[in-house]
Amino acid sequence: MWPFSKKGISGFSGSSTAEQVTHGIDAIGLTAIVTGASSGIGVETMRVLALRGVHVIVAVRNKVAANDIKEAILKEIPSAKIDVMELDLSSLESVKKFASEFNSSGLPLNILINNAGIMLCPFMLSKDNIELHFATNHLGHFLLTNLLLDTMKKTAHQSKKEGRIVNVSAKAYIFAYPEGIRFDKINDQSSYSKWGAYGQSKLANILHANELARRLKDDGVDIIVNSLHPGIILTNLSRHMSVIDGNYYLVLFSSIHDLSRNY
């Protein structure tokens, strides 16, 4: 059994809700961008940030779905401040367009949550002819972060409030190809593995966060960068998973979790 009810040093456990974790926090005046907030954990992230007073910019491919969710949240939280903008992370052109429009808006940016992603899809290429996992999960977010970084730095400096960048990764980074990130074989269909490709993209999320955190610290910039594993949550991210895939992931994740408790 996974000890979801066992509290860690933070005082929270795997069964703690976002509302519980953020209880008592007044985030009025902060602005956040959340990618992929039209379904799954992105929706709950958006809802709770809005509940705490954050102005949330929802960056999504499906604006219709996002607007429906926005309306539902506004019924629950009339004071919520939510805007929906179009963003397709698998398209570098779309990323550049989104960043340009946001930077031109004059809005501050305190928080960037790189949440959107795909998982275990068949071999496909993005609009830029890059393997789809790597293009969507890593490159799109990597470019987005870089294009928004000056705005985040300016916001942190002027507001005197620490900024936050969060890359939603996964413990599935362990499924990456044995050699790690195969930069010279990103588009090699003949040796493609959906688990390897997904793991590779999640490993890239972690490495990106680690290196960016180091550089910002060295430059004295007041922005914290983290990567996280959100746990196993049943969302439409698993739409490409077979029953066998799901069982394999659950069993292996359970083994990793148990092993980590011994160290």
| Residues annotated as catalytic (active site), given as ranges | 192
* C-alpha 194, offset from chain centre: 19
Q: In what order do the strands lie in the sheet with 111-114?
A: 81-86, 55-60, 31-35, 111-114, 163-168, 223-228
Q: Can you tell me the distance from the alpha carbon of 115 to that of 166, in angstroms, rounded to the nearest whole number?
A: 8
Residues 6+ apart with CB under 8 A from 261: 3
Distance CA 93, CA 2 (A): 42
In the block, tokens 């942190």 appear at: 156
